[in-house]
């Protein structure tokens, strides 16, 4: 398996966010079922200067402690008391930075992913459900059955049941760049062009 190594994550967060596009996220469920999705959208968060980051100014709390972990660690948090969000820790250990996964498309066992999301297989999805399948961090975590239970997992080890494979990165000309979503509180950081996506 071509699992991305720690060196991949041990780099500038913006570079990692861009380079994750087209990679495959693999989630192995407790029953051995392997779910795979191609990453299509990411956002970067850098604590030392980014007011949208949970650990802005090196703020350490029980929730943010995982952001200070070694690069290649899964950081999963809960928002609105109901949606989980998956991030990958980047840069040096102790430097709070991560990439949020915002969107993906299934590449293997899509029926099981659809069951997790909607309680029905791919063929039974409505056009609206197909359009909004995994196009958001909470939707992605629900489809892959990810919760806070997977927070802190080492993404560089297949034995942990969550890892990233090389996949097929898109051509640079296909990548779009823009402002991040849902961070109106973050003052000047609202305008940072730290969201990356392709179709």
Q: Taking a C-beta distance cutoff of 8 angstroms, is the pair 156, 166 a contact?
A: no
| Confidence label for 35 from pLDDT (cuts 50, 70 and 90) | very high
Give percent above pLDDT 70 in the chain. Answer: 99
**CATH numbers and ranges of domains, the chain:** 6-197 (3.10.300.10)
- Among 68, 104, 103, which Cα is nearest to 89's? 68
pLDDT for 119-151, tens place per residue?
999 999 999 999 999 999 999 999 999 999 999
- In terms of Cβ atoms closer than 10 Å to its own Cβ (0-12, 13-18, 19+), residue 119 is exposed
Question: Is 150 exposed, middle or buried, given 0-12, 13-18 or 19+ CB atoms closer than 10 A?
Answer: buried
**Is residue 1 predicted with pLDDT exceeding 70?**
no
Please list, in sequence order, all residues whose beta carbon lies within 8 angstroms of the beta carbon of residue 127, skipping any fewer than 6 positions away: none
């Amino acid at each position: 398996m071509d699992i991305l190594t720690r060196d991949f994550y041990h780099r500038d967060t913006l570079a990692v966010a861009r380079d994750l596009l087209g990679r495959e996220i693999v989630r192995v469920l407790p029953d051995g079922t392997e779910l795979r999705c191609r990453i299509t959208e990411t956002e970067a968060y850098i604590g030392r200067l980014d007011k949208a980051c949970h650990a802005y100014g090196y703020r350490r709390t029980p929730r943010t402690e995982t952001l200070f972990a070694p690069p290649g660690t899964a950081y999963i948090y809960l928002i609105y008391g109901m949606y989980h969000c998956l991030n990958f820790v980047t840069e040096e250990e102790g430097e709070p930075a991560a990439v949020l996964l915002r969107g993906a498309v299934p590449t293997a066992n899509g029926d099981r992913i659809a069951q997790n999301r909607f309680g029905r297989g791919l063929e039974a999805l409505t056009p609206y459900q197909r359009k909004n399948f995994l196009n958001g961090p909470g939707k992605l975590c629900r489809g892959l059955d990810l919760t806070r239970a997977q927070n802190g997992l080492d993404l560089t080890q297949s034995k942990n049941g969550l890892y990233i494979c090389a996949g097929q990165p898109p051509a640079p000309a296909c990548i779009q760049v823009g402002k991040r979503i849902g961070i109106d509180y973050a003052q000047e950081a609202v305008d940072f062009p730290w969201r990356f996506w392709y179709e």
